[in-house]
Structure 1
Amino acid sequence: PGALVDALVRVADLDSTLATHDASDGGLAVALAEMVTDDTGVAAELDDAAALFAETPGRVVVETTDADALRDAAGDDAAVTELGTATEDGSLSLSIGDRSIEYAADEIRDLRGVLARELA
């Protein structure tokens, strides 16, 4: 774990690192959705839907302007997988094979409150 933490510190210290988000609570789908704002979105392609929901400790989503610098900073201490691109359309677009979904930032905000509203 120490080497992974060191790698994450190196990545966070890069000028090219714009944002990071822990993916261990709620999985990758939640982490990506929480990074979407009215002005910032994400378009991601995945090989496996299960990856969206796995709450694997130590996984972090990183928005960067320099993927090569991120890989160099992570070195052999952390695996790096390119998922997609940041967008300026305020939406979450996920594709897995020939299936895809898209949610606007306001739809994501509404979905976050569903359980609280339904259980109130």
Structure 2
Amino acid sequence: MSALRSLSSTALAGLFSLFVLVPLFLVFTTSLKDRLQIAENPLGLPTIYLWENFLLAWENGNFGLYFRNSIMITLPTVACVLVFSLVAAYAFAILTFPRENSFIYLLFSWSYHPVRCPCYPVIL
């Protein structure tokens, strides 16, 4: 029974991997085609690989500005999260206070809820 369970879980993981990787592969191969190749054979491999499509998308889509803006937001956010997480982890590891476990469970439960959850009743 253990071998059958192992085989079924491996098959399920492989199927899930296909569901994830096939669309990514199709997006990547489509990005290397010109419009005529996409119209003629949308799911096939490109006959001519057009790597300059990435350069055109970078320049025409203004990705440099968007990338810079993302870095300007991401780096300070990650730094702040790391600092506050390290301080909180140190406090939970060293300090003892009443209802410590309840507070830790409350923090864990908050981490499983998206920020938008309180907004759903307002929107719906």
Higher RCO, 1 or 2 (CA under 8 Å, sep at least 6)?
1
Which of the pair is proportionally richer in strand? 1
Which of the pair is proportionally richer in helix? 2
- Into which bin does the TM-score normalised by the smaller protein fall? under 0.3
Q: Could you state the TM-score of these two structures normalised by the residue count of structure 1? A: 0.26
Q: Could you state the TM-score of these two structures normalised by the residue count of structure 2? A: 0.25
